[in-house]
């Protein structure tokens, strides 16, 4: 049996743990060969790959990023892309292609199976935790921990200077990182894409906090947040956290500073949780290959590893639990 894999979309901590697990289980338990395509779908189309053995993946579990490299986009972006993927599967005599990716990569993998019958199997990953069908994705817990550590540190400097600190975290369409890091870090306010913000309400929260004798505020903002006032969308577009910081300073009179964590959240050593989840996903992915469960992805449900059709996440986004968000806002924010 010959199993191939690729890592697609944005990088995240835990990718190397999946690669390591697939190679080791395929070789030691199944006697299968494992191929790793370089640079996501580009490597498949151009047939750039490495034959991976256990010795090639020793010691990579603690490393962030991916030893295979990754890119955005896919074969449907090019006229001959799908034909090139079909040719690679045939030329290399692949029994399965494991696609380790987020919504975009899994949508591509689903289409290749549904529309062209290619033997794809999905492994969900993303720091955004926004893949429909699984309770969690590896990479998310690491990103939350990094953001939480940053917020913890920012509290002390904010208190020293009586400042408002606006912390921007990743989350274009879903506010999972903002919500969880904001809760863990004791944020003054949390702003997420799922619930458009009102700048007057934010101002009142911060002002009330200072009036009550707490002379510092940390406001956590997901990068995809939008204002409730639709006439102000263009004002905030592409720079939402910076504008929020400017508005809070102008409206409250307190000095405000912006901290954008950016790609810091995606890099570095994965947490133990993400390494374990990535390993469990890798083990299950090999089983899915052996059982020819094409068109399926491995998922986490109620603590157990299961399977789900990649169609459930194709073109979809898993958003936060708004009941939890609103309960937190009502109980703790401010």
Domains of the chain: 2-139+270-312 (3.40.50.450), 141-266 (3.40.50.460)
pLDDT at 93 over 70: yes
| Distances 61 to 20, 22, 168, 297 between C-alpha atoms, Å | 7, 12, 28, 21
pLDDT at 45 over 70: yes
Which residues touch 20 (CB under 8 Å, ≥6 apart)? 57, 58, 60, 61, 279, 282
Catalytic residue ranges: 128
pLDDT for the residue numbered 333: 66
Average pLDDT over residues 8-16: 94
Task: Quote the percentage of the chain above a pLDDT of 90.
Answer: 89
Task: Give the pLDDT mean for 155-182.
Answer: 92
Q: Mean of the per-residue pLDDT values for the chain?
A: 94
Nearest CA-CA partner of 220 in 261, 171, 262, 187: 187
Task: Indicate if the pLDDT at residue 334 is higher than 70.
Answer: no
Distances (CA, A) of 194 to 206, 249, 313: 21, 25, 18
- For 275, the token pair is 């390494």
What mean pLDDT comes out for the span 153-177? 92
Average pLDDT of 164-186? 95
Strand intervals (E) in the chain: 2-7, 33-37, 49-52, 96-101, 120-124, 164-169, 189-191, 217-222, 256-260, 296-301, 304-309
- pLDDT, tens digit, for every residue of 120-133? 999 999 999 999 99
The predicted pLDDT at position 195 comes to 95
DSSP string, 94-118: -SEEEEEESHHHHHHHHHHHHHH--
Tens of pLDDT, residue by residue over 197-234, are 999 999 999 998 888 877 789 999 999 999 999 999 99
Q: Which residue has the tokens 């779908």?
A: 41
């Amino acid at each position: 049996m010959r199993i191939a894999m690729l890592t697609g979309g944005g990088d995240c901590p835990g990718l190397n743990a999946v690669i390591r697990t697939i190679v080791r289980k395929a070789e030691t338990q199944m006697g299968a060969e494992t191929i790793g395509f370089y640079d996501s779908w580009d490597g498949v189309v151009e047939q750039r790959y490495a034959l991976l053995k256990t010795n090639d993946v020793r010691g990579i579990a603690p490393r962030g990023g991916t030893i295979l490299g990754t890119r955005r986009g896919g074969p449907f972006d090019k006229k001959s892309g799908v034909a090139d993927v079909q040719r690679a599967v045939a030329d290399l005599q692949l029994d399965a292609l494991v696609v380790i990716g987020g919504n975009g990569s899994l949508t591509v993998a689903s289409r290749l199976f549904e529309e062209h019958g290619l033997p794809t199997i999905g492994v969900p990953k993303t720091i955004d935790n926004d893949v429909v069908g699984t309770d969690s994705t590896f990479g998310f817990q690491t990103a939350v921990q990094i953001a939480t550590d940053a917020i913890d540190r920012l509290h002390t400097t904010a208190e020293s200077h009586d400042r408002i600190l606006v912390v921007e975290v990743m989350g274009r369409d879903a506010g999972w990182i903002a919500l969880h890091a904001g809760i863990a870090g004791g944020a003054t306010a949390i702003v997420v894409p799922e619930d458009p913000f009102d700048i007057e309400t934010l101002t009142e929260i911060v002002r009330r906090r200072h009036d009550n004798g707490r002379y510092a505020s940390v406001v956590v903002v997901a990068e995809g947040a939008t204002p409730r006032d639709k006439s102000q969308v263009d004002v905030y577009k592409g720079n939402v956290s910076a504008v929020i910081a400017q508005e809070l300073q102008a409206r409250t009179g307190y000095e405000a500073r912006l901290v954008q964590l950016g790609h810091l959240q995606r890099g570095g050593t994965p947490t133990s949780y993400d390494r374990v989840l990535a390993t469990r996903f890798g083990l299950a992915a090999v089983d899915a290959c052996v059982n020819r469960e094409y068109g399926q992805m491995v998922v986490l449900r109620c603590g157990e590893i299961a399977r789900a059709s990649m169609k459930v996440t194709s073109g979809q986004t898993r958003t936060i639990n708004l009941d939890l968000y609103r309960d937190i806002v009502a109980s703790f924010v401010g």
